[in-house]
Copies of this chain bind each other. A is one copy, B any other.
Amino acid sequence: MAIPRAAKTLRRTRIQEEKEEQILEAALDVFSVSGFRGSTIDQIAEVAGMSKPNLLYYFRTKEAMHRALIDRVLYNWLEPLRAFDAEGNPESEIRSYIRRKLEMARDFPRESRLFANEMLQGAPHVLDMLKGPLKELVDEKAAVIRTWIKSGKIAYCDPYHLIFSIWSTTQHYADFDVQVRAVLGEEHSGDGRFEDAARFLEQLFIGGLRPDRSGS
């Protein structure tokens, strides 16, 4: 007789680790494209190469699968912002934050789209995290930016909207990838577009935040 699923977390088998990994990988494929409501367990089972009841042996419900996936993805997703350092000089900090976020958009586009899907639906599964830990982290980094402003290292600006604009411009290359490719055409759709984007965004943000003669 199989162990009740509640006890599974006590001792994890090799097979459990592998299969749960395999399932979440497939779930990321599916959820990131169709969102929670639009995805089906059968789709995920097919991508994972296992039967539907087998998925449900490891995750009791579709909700549980989605929650596990979000949990695993979220921590890494905020890593670049956490690395945002008060000690470094503003220009290089902003530059490397843009770089890091662009690298994530390039290397983990499914994670970005999973998150975007969740936002579009009103964040039903992560609203508490947005209002809690995320807000606290952003508040902290906004305070750092404000010290840079007060010491005259960068132009006066709203630090929250600065962070929003770095998020949106970088994630755009993951979430709207299909549009970017269509507009740039086949010839400019290679990985080179990320280097072009990085150059442009660095110029935009460094120039736009230059302390002297900035703003209207």
Contacts and interface: CB of A to CB of B under 8 A. Distances in A.
Interface of A: 32-39, 113, 116-117, 119-123, 127, 130-131, 134-135, 138, 155, 157-158, 160-162, 164-165, 167-169, 171-173, 175-176, 178-180, 182-185, 188, 196-197, 199-210, 213-216
A176 B119 contact: yes
Given A38-B34, A165-B169, A207-B215, A196 B120 contact: no
A155 B33 contact: no
Contacts of A173: 164
The residue in A113, A162, A167, A196 that gathers the most chain B C-beta atoms within 10 A of its C-beta is A167
Provide the main secondary structure of the chain A interface. helix
A162 B34 contact: no
Contact of A169 (B138, B168, B214): B168
Contacts of A161: 196-197, 200-201
Contacts of A138: 183
A122 B216 CA distance: 38
B130 A183 contact: yes
Given A122-B178, A175-B120, A207-B155, A200 B162 contact: yes
Nearest to A199: B158
A184 B160 contact: yes
A89 to B, nearest CB: 13
B121 A34 contact: yes
